[in-house]
Amino acid sequence: MSKTISEKDNKAICERYRSILRSLRDRSTSQELATIRRALDLALDAHSNVRRKSGEPYILHPMEVAMIVVDEIGLGATSVVSALLHDVVEDSDYRLEDIDRLFGEKIARIIDGLTKISGVFDQHTSAQAENFRKMLLTLGDDVRVILIKLADRLHNMRTMDSMPAHKQVKIASETLYLYAPLAHRLGLYNIKTELEDLSLKYTEPEVYRDISMRMKAAQADELRYLKKFSSPIDAALKDEGIKFTIKERAKSIYSIRKKMINQSVSFDEIYDKYAIRIILDTPLEGEKAICWRVFSIVTDFYHPNPDRMRDWISTPKSTGYESLHTTVMGPDGNWVEVQIRSKRMDEQAEKGLASHWKYKGDDEVDSRFEQWINRVREALESNNSTALEFIDDFRFNLFSDEIFVFTPKGELKTLPKGACCIDFSFEIHTDIGLRTLGAKVNGKMVQLNYKLKSGDQIEIITSSNQKPKEEWLNYVVTSKARTKIKSSLNEERKQIAEYGKEILTRKLNFLKIKLNDQVETQLLNFLKLRDSQELYYQAGLQLLDNQLLKSFVKERNGGFVGYIRNRFKKQGASPQIISNSQDKTPSKLVFGTEEQDLPYKLSPCCSPIDGDDVFGYITINEGIKVHRKDCPNAIALQSRYGNRIIKATWISSDVVEFTANLVIKGIDTVGLVNRITQLISHDLDVNIRSININGDAGIFEGSIVVVVRNRVHLQNIINEIKKIEGIKSVERYLKNA
């Protein structure tokens, strides 16, 4: 090994190298192992004397990525070599031609793909989208590029403690926003779960620590309970002669946090934090039958919840995931999730569909994965969205739950949850989607925006005279439908604009004005339109009447000074100064490392108040907007606009007041509203801006907007309201974008 690093570092490198060889022993030739050694030697040379922020030799990073690739994803020698070399071209004097000459075209192509996508989140937004597009295009070329990139991100997340806090938040936000959904979509559920947990660790460290500590404190009792729960199942399976393994597993910290938010409950109110997985050792041809047999045995002992049954054996997920899930009522009135699957299914759930694609000869897996790749290609080839729309649309299709629906002939189609009839029509064929006139679901006419459910059978009614409508974009959720609709609308818009330009030219000629670039710019300013196509489109729709054009000519004929004066008269004598909502008081926040006093606005999506952990986001048109760090939109903002995020710090001032929206739930009792208002207004001397409480079937839910001084003041109010008999929960309301 290298002589330029310490004996301790050499030892660590040797240990990892031996681990890689052990993992590959049964699935690599001696020639492949020799190639791995050559790749390691080259990487050692390329990264010699380079260390990571943690102080360890840089070479340990590509070696750890290689270990993840082989052990946790299940790839082979080619991927290990590529992982060892993945940073060489970018970080050293070695060129892609050197990799091609030394290791061959296949590995050079993978390294090229990894180098191209290394800056997915390091550029401005438009460049991010283009780099993201390049990354996705590699799916059709060699999916190993994406898998190695995911392994690279996972190791970076595991070793991020030595990085500055602001970089931790940015990288964690990126991971949660894109990499975790991508891992999910590729069937890498273990990696997806770890990426989510590690992201939460850095984006909401206090929440992460609290849930983690509570999980550890309850772990021993929970595991004892699960042993008690699984004991009769274990005995029955042995009596049946079934070969099996039972694993107890805890839900991830991130999934518990998500459930707490979605259901507005506390940690103690999450009852299915643990589950058991029954893994069956059975031949391929008998898998389905034995899984259902075990399901029958489990439900002989415990009653299942009919709403929590999931059969992904009869209809696997598009990622290839197969398993039976059910939630049953265990001893002492506790719900327990039970997962039933074969060893093959478990391996695929652990390693993901992508690791099987074209490397293990599984034609069924290959066809499913190819089907998804074709969708990716369609989204990329005809995408004309803005950069952010492109990323958001694709991300939605990565991470959404799935539904399974049928054509009139019984053909099964997979769509994201929330898909409507128009999404279905474009899934069948683009021409059908473009000519969609109506739809029947299960034999009954429905509106085109009808949200489909699993099991629906859909018939699309078409017309040659039908064209996509702009309102369809409000209904559809799939990238394919959205892209095709926009393309069609843009083509129609372009034709109308061409006709509109002819009309506008004639009208201006009549008013003795020749249409040229200068006149076009003046018209855009006068009408406050964003571009020339919009101008001519409105003209084509006959929206620019003669009186409006005469007003333009009159203003224009006032000369340059008159034109500018009229512009300011319309827009205001001076640019509007952006300030916070408390104009009568000094700024409560300072920004950046130098703590500058800058104008800002408090974002309405999370309504920050004094004492909240916040950050500033520099908008294009509205100055600095302040968001809470746990705002529903924080992850997306920090991920997509890392260069426009600014540190925000509260400074003391006792006179500023803020509004906070509280959501209150509980048992409806006589005089409840009176007790709440009496407590807030009289006992606590707090001003109520609005109150709205509704009761139904003995349960009430309502919202109260109160005026508070800071976060501590608000927390005191919440604590006091919770003491009222019948109140079950009091939470601050956060609004999604």
Structural domains in the chain?
7-162 (1.10.3210.10), 213-355 (3.30.460.10), 366-475 (3.10.20.30), 487-571 (no CATH), 589-650 (no CATH), 658-732 (3.30.70.260)
Burial grade of 10 (CB within 10 A; 0-12, 13-18, 19 or more): middle
Backbone dihedral angles phi then psi of residue 667, each to the nearest 5 degrees = -95, 125
pLDDT: is 609 or 155 the higher one?
155
pLDDT of residue 580: 40
The encoded tokens of residue 726 equal 């019948």
pLDDT of residue 525: 80
The answer to whether 91 is a known catalytic residue is yes
Residue 67 has pLDDT above 90, yes or no: yes
Q: Which ranges of 532-682 would DSSP assign to H, the alpha helix? A: 532-540, 546-556, 559-571, 634-640, 672-677
Of 277-291, 354-368, 524-538, 718-732, the least confident: 354-368
Contacts (Cβ under 8 Å, ≥6 apart) of 132: 120, 178, 390, 391, 394
Residues near 339 by Cβ (< 8 Å), separated by ≥ 6?
A: 275, 276, 277, 278, 323, 324, 325
Does 369 score more than 70 pLDDT?
A: no
- Is there a contact between 321 and 312 (Cβ–Cβ < 8 Å)? yes
Q: Would you place residue 75 in the very low, low, confident or very high pLDDT band (cuts 50, 70, 90)?
A: confident
- Write down the pLDDT at residue 254: 92
Per-residue pLDDT at 83:
93
* Residues in Cβ contact with 297 at an 8 Å cutoff, skipping those fewer than 6 apart: 233, 236, 237, 240
Instruction: Give the tokens for residue 88.
Output: 């060489």
Give the pLDDT confidence score for residue 536 in this predicted structure. 83
Average confidence (pLDDT) over 325-345: 90
Query: What is the pLDDT at residue 89?
Result: 87
Region of residue 49 (left: phi > 0; alpha: psi -120 to 50; beta: else): left
Amino acid symbol at 543: L
Q: What is the pLDDT of residue 669?
A: 73
Residues 358, 363, 364, 368, CA torsion sign: positive
Mean pLDDT (the chain) is 80
Q: Helices in 204-322 by DSSP H: which ranges?
A: 205-239, 253-263, 287-301
Which residues contact residue 284 at a Cβ distance below 8 angstroms, ignoring those fewer than 6 apart?
Answer: 342, 344
Q: Which is nearest to 458 in space by CA: 474, 469, 445?
A: 445
The residue with greater pLDDT, 195 or 500, is 195
For position 585, what pLDDT does the model report? 42
pLDDT at 121: 43
Q: How far is CA 537 from CA 497, 523, 529, 543, in A?
A: 4, 13, 11, 9
Q: Are 468 and 485 in contact (CB under 8 A)?
A: yes
- In whole angstroms, how far apart are CA 68 and each of 152, 327, 498? 8, 32, 56
pLDDT-wise least confident of 186-190, 238-242, 590-594: 590-594
pLDDT per residue over 637-653, tens digit each? 877 777 778 888 887 65
- In the structure, how many helices (H) and strands (E) does the chain have? 28, 20
Q: Which of 9, 56, 90, 362 is catalytic?
A: 90
Amino acid at 590: V
- Tell me if 534 sits within 8 A of 499, measured CB to CB: no
> pLDDT value at position 230?
92
pLDDT in tens, 135-183: 566 555 677 888 898 999 999 999 998 888 888 888 888 888 878 888 8
Asked whether 84 and 40 are in contact (CB, 8 A), the reply is yes
pLDDT one-digit tens code per residue, 200-224: 999 999 999 999 998 888 888 888 8
Most confident of 230-239, 616-625, 628-637: 230-239
pLDDT value of position 692: 80
Confidence (pLDDT) at 358: 40
Residue 582 pLDDT level (bands cut at 50, 70, 90): very low
Structure confidence at residue 365 (pLDDT): 44
Active-site residue (options: 91, 130, 210, 378):
91
Q: Which pLDDT tens digit goes with each residue over 420-462?
A: 999 999 989 989 999 998 999 998 998 998 999 888 899 999 9
Instruction: Report the alpha-carbon distance of residue 211 to residue 566 in Å, rounded.
Output: 60
Greater model confidence, 544 or 680: 680
For residue 123, the SS3 value is coil
Nearest to 433 by CA among 479, 381, 384: 479
Residue appearing with tokens 């994803």 = 73
The share of the chain scoring above pLDDT 70, in percent, equals 82
For residue 248, pLDDT beyond 50? yes
CB 603 within 8 A of CB 734: no
The model's pTM: 0.64
Q: What is the mean pLDDT of residues 685-710?
A: 80
Per DSSP, the residues of 65-121 read HHHIIIIII---HHHHHHHHTTTHHHHSS--HHHHHHHH-HHHHHHHHHHHHGGGTT
pLDDT (0 to 100) of residue 573? 38
| pLDDT score, position 595 | 66
Q: Give the residue from 543, 542, 541, 562 showing the smallest Cα distance to 553.
A: 562
To the nearest 10 degrees (0 to 180), the angle between helices 479-510 and 387-399 is: 160
Angle (deg, nearest 10), helices 96-103 and 105-116: 150
Neighbours of 680 (CB within 10 A): 20
